Chains A and B, each alone.
Chain A
């Protein structure tokens, strides 16, 4: 039963990712990305990372994806009846995104996947021989680690977030002084 759910979530994740690759509509690919991110969150649960799964849903689905949807909708043309323009991106409803170098890209990605799977098939990871943890939750350990071993990165990342907040707000301003 658990394995069926596991493989179902894997299929969900891969279908979402392939839809991002295949579809030409930017809005559809944003929603397919939502499917993929939710699938990855479920796979985190199967890998015993409950805190990370919740963080994934809050940060990616609640934050990044909403930002991406805003980006898609703010950069799409308002619909007009004028179809005489020649440039593809000037046409109304030209939210469709075509492909460039399609075969090169797919070939490169397929080659990368082939190489990685050859590597994984031949590899034997010593870490996988270790006994598995049976702790009910990882939140205790993550909290302790963040306050002891990783206190410096934890503080630095707060400064990074502040800088990103101010920088994004400044960059998106209406009349930026270049």
Chain B
């Protein structure tokens, strides 16, 4: 892939990151906020992979994004366990309704 396409990839990653940020800020459902975080992590991975192509001997970017993926999977598992526990307690997962510390 020639450098101009790599630049295109960087723009796509920037757009994905911005959309993920908008999802995290505007949505009220906790699971959708989690999806926005996944989108942002994917955008970062795309950036790392786009640069890693020009570093074929060490592939630092690809290995870093592999670790990012694994941490994202662990984070998603823990976050969804928390969301299910919050739902059991409050009977809702809409973040604006979760205003009580004690109920």
Residues of chain A whose beta carbon lies under 8 Å from any beta carbon of chain B: 3, 6, 10, 13-14, 17-18, 20-21, 26, 29-30, 33, 36-37, 40, 43-44, 46-49, 51-52, 55-56, 59-60, 63-64, 67-68, 70-72, 74-75, 87-90, 95, 97-102, 104-106, 108-110, 112-113, 116-117, 120, 125, 127-133, 135, 138, 141-142, 145-146, 149-150, 153, 157, 160-161, 163-165, 167-169, 171-172, 176
Contacts and interface: CB of A to CB of B under 8 A. Distances in A.
Contact of B87 (A48, A75, A110): A75
Interface of B: 1-3, 5-12, 14-23, 25-32, 34-36, 38-39, 42, 45-46, 49-59, 62-63, 65-67, 69-78, 80-85, 87, 91-94, 96-97
24 contacts: A3-B5, A13-B12, A14-B19, A17-B20, A20-B36, A33-B38, A33-B39, A36-B39, A44-B45, A51-B62, A67-B76, A68-B31, A89-B93, A98-B28, A105-B26, A108-B22, A117-B11, A125-B51, A132-B56, A142-B59, A157-B67, A157-B70, A168-B78, A168-B81
A71 B83 contact: yes
B10 A75 contact: no
Q: A49, A95, A113, A117 — which one has the most chain B CB atoms within 10 A of its CB?
A: A49
A125 B70 CA distance: 28
Nearest to A36: B39
